[in-house]
Amino acid sequence: MFNLHNKNAVVTGAGSGIGKSVALLFAQQGATVHVADLNEKQANDTVNEITAAGGKAFAHILDVSDQAKVVGIFQQVAVIDILVNSAGISHIGKADTTSEEDVDRLLKVNVKGLYNCLYAAIPLMKKNNGGVILNMSSIAAIVGIPDRFAYSMTKGAVAAMTLSVAKDYLADNIRCNCISPARVHTAFVDGFLAKNYPGKEAEMFEKLSKTQPIGRMAKPDEIAHLVLYLCSPEASFITGCDYPIDGGFVKLNN
């Protein structure tokens, strides 16, 4: 089950965090993985880890907000069976404490960057008689999260783009879904705590972990397994859906 042999997958943000876990799992399941990331070292580290395990992967240094570069790299890949839009950035702030520059920065990556990848990949998928797209949304698009105004706004856009693409390309055999994780323990979380709560990292980590009713943050691998299912042939009847993967956050936090 969940065999990705002979599939070409592009994973953005695959140099670290969830994107990296997705890339490693896809390669383990037989896909040729195109690791797209802004950080050259991290992209190469992911590729090296895949090839050391006997998989096949290629690194692409990519700023998803640059449409010309996205189109150029995707055309080099040529055949894209699976696209996972995992690249994204966050920001702390409310509507009246978030600067215009920060709004523009998040829109540039989280919204325009995802659009650029859709713009570049969909024509290739149509030419190839179909494909699968998985977008990374967030529970912040579903419920109110304190101090996440700009981030929540962009993830709401991701959910809307997912529905639009799923509807528009039904006849082209292109499926499009998104998932909405709650907090996931990645290096980003550790860096955030070190920067904003020096000396109180363990205390704040515990506090953030317990906001999930299940009592902990997710592991990147747990997110990757849901991505694998939705991108596999076993999920061929699923399109236009959002899947919270949140330790009970949305339904059980009352």
Instruction: Supply the residues annotated as catalytic.
Output: 151
Distance set, CA 181 to CA 53, 137, 140, 206, 235 (Å): 28, 7, 9, 18, 19
Instruction: Name the strands in the sheet holding 174-181, side by side, starting at the edge strand that comes first in the sequence.
Output: 56-61, 32-37, 8-12, 82-85, 131-136, 174-181, 242-245
Cα gap 158→89, rounded to integer Å: 13
